[in-house]
Amino acid sequence: MVAPAYQIVLSGYYGYRNSGDEAVLQSILIALDRWSRELGVQIVPVVLSGDPAWTTAAYGVRAVPRMSLGEVRRAIAESDALISGGGSLLQDVTGAKSIPYYLGVIKLAQMLGKPSFVYAQGIGPVNRKWFYPMIRSVFRRCKLISVRDEQSRALLLSMGLRAEDVQVVPDPVMGLKLPGEEDGGKISRTRPSEEAIPCIGVSVRFWEKDRRELEAIADGLRQACQSRPLHIRFLPFHVPSDVEASRYCMERLGEVPMASGGSVSIAEPDDRPQSMLREVGECSLLLGMRLHSLIYAAGRRVPVIGISYDPKIDHFLSRLYVKPVGTTESLDADLLGEEVLRLLEHGTEWLVEREERIAALVREAEAPARYIVDYFRRKG
């Protein structure tokens, strides 16, 4: 018997080659495919993308331009459902346009009689309170509301949504694996030998106007390099801005790493999330500003040091029972350098203490996909 096919439109910040958001998309696609095969339901994804041709080439799925109302409406009208997420879609820190756009796409699906699912989103900050009733009205008609942390759930409850209607699940990227691991294969991480020079993965971005956070990061790494040879490996998650931020730090580091027997390098930009996932997995520890650099590291069992520029960093680290080493506004270079050396010394203990928690997050990351596929299994 041929499995029934259901077309689902995926809405998010896709097609802009931001490694974190592309990892979200790939994780959702992989999870939907896995549970489709598990439950005997065929899911056909259609992605709303900023670059449809690139998205189709990268993931082998149909994509339509996300800013073309006519094509978005046509895709949803032809579909059986809409998935909104994941990522930080409903927030107004970057401007007042994101919330109306993403809510508008969900509302359009609801007007067309299509079930809508909120997939592991990070909600907020929402500083404009007049968005509250809009979010509440649209979300109340969703078949599933899943968010990636307790703080997002609390914010939705403050808007008037019911506690029993909002599920907390891990970020979908916690479940992202390398090719060959996706059907239950074990994580194939290359562990450096004790004699090898440790590789410190570093994910930075521009945030403070005076670059104080980048200067403190470089100064702290330089101090660590003076104590032992290290390979400082910069990992740009958003091109080209993270490449520029990385090179800013590299210039401030100067020749100190090489003088102490270490080295400095920067990963070549790559549009494929799993390429960056592999890079992170080869590190001895990860120092990160980007949320998904920390999520990649946890999933690959690499100890993390987080620097907070947004509550979402604190929220994720708290799920690992970790606090940020500092914030972008107040980052102590001496403390950062000491933490790098401490974690290199005690990284194994760090992982053992958190293995059960990390494993649970990885398992739970596919919960929304399982729910959505089962929804159509029961419907069929």
Q: Which pLDDT does position 292 carry in this prediction?
A: 93
pTM: predicted TM-score of the whole model, two decimal places: 0.88
Task: Report pLDDT digits (tens) over 85-130.
Answer: 988 999 998 889 999 999 999 999 999 999 999 999 999 999 999 9
**Cα separation, 220 vs 333, whole angstroms:** 4
pLDDT band at 18 (very low <50, low <70, confident <90, very high): confident
Q: Which pLDDT does position 2 carry in this prediction?
A: 66
Pairing of strands 42-49, 62-65: parallel
Q: Which pLDDT does position 4 carry in this prediction?
A: 77
Task: Report pLDDT digits (tens) over 188-235.
Answer: 555 555 558 999 999 999 999 999 999 999 999 999 999 999 999 999
Two structure tokens written together for 200: 């410190």
**Domains in the chain, ordered, with CATH?**
5-169+365-379 (3.40.50.2000), 199-361 (3.40.50.2000)
More confident residue, 271 or 58: 58
222 contacts 259 by C-beta, under 8 angstroms? no
Q: Which pLDDT does position 181 carry in this prediction?
A: 79
Whole-Å CA distances, 236 to 3, 174, 243, 271, 298: 41, 19, 5, 11, 18
DSSP 244-265: HHHHHHHHHHTTHHHHTT-EEE
**Cα separation, 180 vs 76, whole angstroms:** 33
Two structure tokens written together for 350: 């760090």
Amino acid at 155: L
